Amino acid sequence: MKQLTKPSVFCYGEVLWDIFPEGARAGGAPFNVAYNLMRMGIDAHMISRVGNDKLGNDLLAQLTNWNISTEDSQIDTNSPTGTVIAHIDEHNEAHYDIIQPVAWDFIEFRNDYTEKISNASAFVFGSLITRNEVSRNTLFELLEVAKFKVFDVNIRPPHYSIPVIKDLLYKADLVKMNKAELRLILDFLNKDYISEDDGIRYIQNTFTINEVLISKGSKGAVYYNGEQHYDAPAVPVTIQDTVGSGDAFLAGFLSKRILNADPIEIMNQATALGAFITSKEGACPNYTWSDFESFKIKNDVYGKIFNE
């Protein structure tokens, strides 16, 4: 009997070291998504580029240690591995100084990516990776073959272009953003903010996007799928730090969405994993599936979503 393979997701973009006062942590939004997808039992892959240096070797070793394939990662002999100088403010919010240019700015297109991306259950990308034309051009080539395109908006001034963000929205099948990014995108479109529902519907209609996912921190999250939408309250936890919580939220969402689960089950998984990571230190803490399941049971996250 043929063994069933796990669904695969390809994440495209930056891998880097977040340099905190207490030390360095592996990071980058797509990297964090891939890590948490792997923990959820998904076959996660990372397409990125590191420098031919110790930091790059350490990142590739970290990927290997986490059972995330490195065969799609590239090594740059001219540019260093990406670093970000990070600090946490008094509200436990992270702020970043994203160094450039670095290796992940120069991700080259490879012919073998085409078949892999076209067969994947989802292709996850953000807007930060488009700051350099090399990685941007590769992204747009891959978007032509991906069957389920997930745009994780991550607007980091000054590393973005309004026309490029609009182009990415036109390409996306699902867009995930936070409330501040929703307002920013509406500003880019010269659309007044009237209400959350009005803003999301405007983006759906303008860019012909069926699915929109909004994370709202302590106010929970909302998922729009066509005419339906599902509100999910936040899971109350003691915050250790918020780094990577939005990435974990997306990973939790995709881990159920690519299996075509019920929207309520999808959102329970998303809000629970986002909260679980927020209760830990760092974006990629060491945990097992059973650790997460115990957290969900303890916090009674099932059945708290409203379909309107």
Q: What is the pLDDT of residues 100-123, one digit of tens each?
A: 999 999 999 999 999 999 999 999
pLDDT value for 94: 67
Pairing of strands 228-232, 74-76: unpaired
Mean pLDDT of 226-242: 90
* 263 confidence band (pLDDT: 50, 70, 90): very high
pLDDT value for 304: 52
Q: Give me the phi and psi of 233, to 5 degrees please.
A: -70, 160
pLDDT value for 270: 96
Prior bond of 101 cis (ω within 30°): yes
Residue ranges and CATH numbers for the domains of the chain are: 8-297 (3.40.1190.20)
Checking if the pLDDT of 299 tops 80, the result is: yes
Which DSSP state fits 114? H
Mean pLDDT of 190-215: 98
Pairing of strands 149-152, 122-126: parallel
- In angstroms, rounded to a whole number, what is the distance separating the alpha carbons of residues 211 and 297? 28
Mean pLDDT estimate for the chain:
92
